[in-house]
């Protein structure tokens, strides 16, 4: 196995793989940075970064089934079930029986979750803005377009 220390970086390149040249690695680091920033902003509001995508979907269309949320948020079933349980415990959502499908439940926002929408979205926008600090508008737009194209490719993997 060939391991090379990249000069003045402290980063190892293993068999020619340099994580700083990996879009997937960089994207995961970017997502972690966003989550840290959102966590700081959201702590006082009563939700966590992992709950935010579910809140976004329910603010858009309240009363979705867990299956619909899974399709829209694109996370694992177990992760969704655990996240919804925590959200229910924290008073953000409530589950109600589906009127025509006895196996399904509908997920609804509580008043608490509805009331935090503006502040939560502002917190997420501020966290996103921090990621692009120092970027010009066209640079941000170009990067977002590249990321969308990469995500489209990733759907076919």
Give per-residue pLDDT as tens, 83-96: 999 999 999 999 99
Q: Are 34 and 128 in contact (CB under 8 A)?
A: yes
Q: What angle do CA 108, 112, 116 make, to 5 degrees?
A: 105
Locate 89 and state its tokens.
């415990």
Q: Which of 69, 48, 47 is nearest to 116 (CA)?
A: 47
Q: Which of 58, 46, 48 is nearest to 94 (CA)?
A: 58
Stronger pLDDT, 137 or 18, i.e. the higher one: 137
Stronger pLDDT, 8 or 89, i.e. the higher one: 89
CATH number of 49-115: 1.10.10.10
Q: Above pLDDT 90, what percent of the chain?
A: 77
Looking at every residue in the chain, the average pLDDT score rounds to: 90
Task: Look at residue 78 in the predicted model and tell me its pLDDT.
Answer: 96
* Residue ranges covered by each domain of the chain: 49-115
- Which of 38-47, 98-107, 111-120 is the most confident on average? 111-120
């Amino acid at each position: 196995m060939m391991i090379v220390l990249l000069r003045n970086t402290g980063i190892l390149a293993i068999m020619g793989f340099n994580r700083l040249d990996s879009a997937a690695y960089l994207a995961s680091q970017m997502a972690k940075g966003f989550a840290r920033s959102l966590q700081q902003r959201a702590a006082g509001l009563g939700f966590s970064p992992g709950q935010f995508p579910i809140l976004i979907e329910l603010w858009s269309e309240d009363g979705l089934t867990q299956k619909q949320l899974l399709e829209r948020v694109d996370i694992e079933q177990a992760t969704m079930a655990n996240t919804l349980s925590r959200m229910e415990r924290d008073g953000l959502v409530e589950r109600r029986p589906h009127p025509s499908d006895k196996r399904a439940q509908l997920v609804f926002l509580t008043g608490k979750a509805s009331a935090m929408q503006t502040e939560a979205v502002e917190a997420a926008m501020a966290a996103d803005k921090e990621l692009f600090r120092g970027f010009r508008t066209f640079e941000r737009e170009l990067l977002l377009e590249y990321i969308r194209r990469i995500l489209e490719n990733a759907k076919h993997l």
